[in-house]
Amino acid sequence: MRTEMPLSKPIRRFLHHTEETLDTEISLLRQPEAEPGGTLIDIYTYDIERNVIIFPAQYVGLLKDFVIAKQCTNLLMKGAAAKKSRYLVCSYTEDSVYRGMRQVYIDALKDEAKKEKKLPVQKLIQMLFILFSHFNEDVNDLPWNAITNASVYHRMPKIRKTQLYHVMKESKNDMDEMMEQESIVPRRYFVLNKAMFYARDMFLAKTLPADELMPVLNIPQMKKFNHLEVKEMLTTRWTHTAWYQSKVFGDNMLEILEKPLGPVQWNGTPTLDYYYDLYKVGVLLTDNLLSYMTMRDWFVWEEPKHLLRAHEHKEEYEKNALKKIFGDLLSDAWGDS
C-alpha cells in the first residue's frame, strides 16, 4: 500500500486484507475535485500497474475511511471475478445503441402525442442517446452500490453513522437527477430512474438499518405516500402522478433486489470465493433489473475494455443509430452529401 496519509487501524487492516486477498497493490490519492463517493481506477479495468482509490481532498477521519472501504469492496468483487472467471460489465455495441435509442424514441412519441406543448425536434433527437447512456451508467453502478454499502455496514461497524450520513446525501442527489427535465424526459424513463433509486434506498433502509433512509420520509415528492390509505392512493388524484408510478415500480424493483440479496451472509468469511459470490449476485441483480425494465437488448456483458472502447466510439454509434431511425431526414443536419 502506497500512502503517507494517516489511517485508522480498521481501514489499514481492510486495505491490507484487500491487497493480500487479490495479491495486488493499492495507492490512495486525494484530489480536490474528486467524486463525492470516490473513484476506483483498477488494474482489472485499465492498463495500469497498481490500483488507485481517489477521494475528495477535504475528506478526513471516518468519512475518508468509509469511501476507502467502499472502493476496496468494489475492488475485491472485481478482482475475485477476474481471478475466478471473467470480470464483465454492461457494455454496448452499435446495434444495441440503435435498439435502445429507437425504443426511447417510440416512447417519447407516445408522450409527445399527449402534450399540448411539443418538445422541439432537436431536443428530442439529443435526448435519445443521453437517456441511453444514463441507464448504462445506472446499471453499472446501482446494483453494486447496494451490495457494497450492505457489505461495508456489516464489516466496518465503527463507521456506520458516517456511512448513513453519506448514503442519505447520495440518495438525495440521485433523486434530484432529471428533476429539471421532468417535463421533457418521457414519463416511462423518469419513472424507471426514480424507481431504481427508490428500491435501492428501501433495501438499504432495511439492511443498514436506518429509518432516516426511507424514501417516503426524506424525499419531498414521496412524502405524500407515507401512511397513505389504500383507497386514497387508488384515486385518480394519485395514480396519474409520476411519483406514484415511481413508487409502484420501485416496490416491484425492491422485490427484485431482495430475492438475491436476502440470503447473502454479509458476515461470511471474506475469502476470494466469498467476493466472487457477491459479484455473481450483482450480475444477477443487473440482469433482473434489465429484464424488468425491458432493456436486456440495450446492453451486452463484455470485458471492461469493451466498454472503454464503446465510450470512445459513442458519437459514431449515436450518429449511425440516428441515421437508421430517421433515414435521410437527418442528412443535412449531419453534413452528409
Task: Judge whether 317 lies within some domain.
Answer: yes
Q: What is the pLDDT of residues 250-267, one digit of tens each?
A: 999 999 999 999 999 999
Task: Judge whether 335 lies within some domain.
Answer: no
CA distance 73 to 59: 19
- Average pLDDT of the chain to the nearest whole number: 88
Q: Which pLDDT score is estimated for 334?
A: 47
Do 193 and 300 lie in one domain? The reply is: yes
Range of the structural domain that residue 69 is part of: 9-82
Q: Which pLDDT score is estimated for 337?
A: 38
Do 66 and 126 lie in one domain? The reply is: no
Average pLDDT over residues 197-221: 76
Region for 213 from its dihedrals, namely left if φ exceeds 0, alpha if ψ lies in -120 to 50, beta otherwise: alpha
Task: Judge whether 125 lies within some domain.
Answer: yes
Task: Judge whether 245 lies within some domain.
Answer: yes
pLDDT-derived band at 237, boundaries 50, 70, 90: low
Kindly report the pTM of this predicted structure.
Answer: 0.89
Q: Which pLDDT score is estimated for 336?
A: 46
Task: Judge whether 1 lies within some domain.
Answer: no
Do 140 and 189 lie in one domain? The reply is: yes
Do 105 and 33 lie in one domain? The reply is: no
Please report, in angstroms and rounded to a whole number, the separation of the first and last CA atoms in the chain: 57
Number of domains in the chain: 2
Do 148 and 64 lie in one domain? The reply is: no
* List of residues 6+ apart from 266 with CB closer than 8 A: 150, 151, 153, 154, 155
Do 102 and 59 lie in one domain? The reply is: no
CA distance 116 to 23: 61
Cα four-point dihedral sign 75, 301, 92, 186:
negative
Do 70 and 183 lie in one domain? The reply is: no
| pLDDT tops 80 at residue 235 | no
CA distance 166 to 170: 6
pLDDT > 90: percent of the chain: 66
| pLDDT tops 60 at residue 229 | no
Average pLDDT over residues 104-128: 87
Q: What is the pLDDT of residues 129-188, one digit of tens each?
A: 999 999 999 999 999 999 999 999 999 999 999 998 898 888 888 877 767 777 788 999
Task: Judge whether 229 lies within some domain.
Answer: yes
Q: Which pLDDT score is estimated for 172?
A: 80
Average pLDDT over residues 121-126: 88
Do 147 and 27 lie in one domain? The reply is: no
Q: Which pLDDT score is estimated for 174?
A: 81
Specify the higher pLDDT residue, 126 or 1: 126
Average pLDDT over residues 52-67: 94
Task: Judge whether 4 lies within some domain.
Answer: no
| pLDDT tops 80 at residue 3 | no
Domain boundary among 82, 107, 133: 82
Do 104 and 163 lie in one domain? The reply is: yes
Do 142 and 51 lie in one domain? The reply is: no
Q: Angle CA(53)–CA(56)–CA(57) in degrees, nearest 5? A: 105
Domain boundary among 42, 59, 82: 82
Do 25 and 67 lie in one domain? The reply is: yes
Task: Judge whether 337 lies within some domain.
Answer: no
pLDDT > 70: percent of the chain: 88
Domain boundary among 82, 105, 132: 82
Do 52 and 176 lie in one domain? The reply is: no
102 CB-side CA count, 13 A: 16
Q: What is the pLDDT of residues 63-103, one digit of tens each?
A: 999 999 999 999 999 999 999 999 999 999 999 999 999 99
Q: What is the pLDDT of residues 288-336, one digit of tens each?
A: 999 999 999 999 999 999 999 999 999 999 999 999 999 876 655 444 4
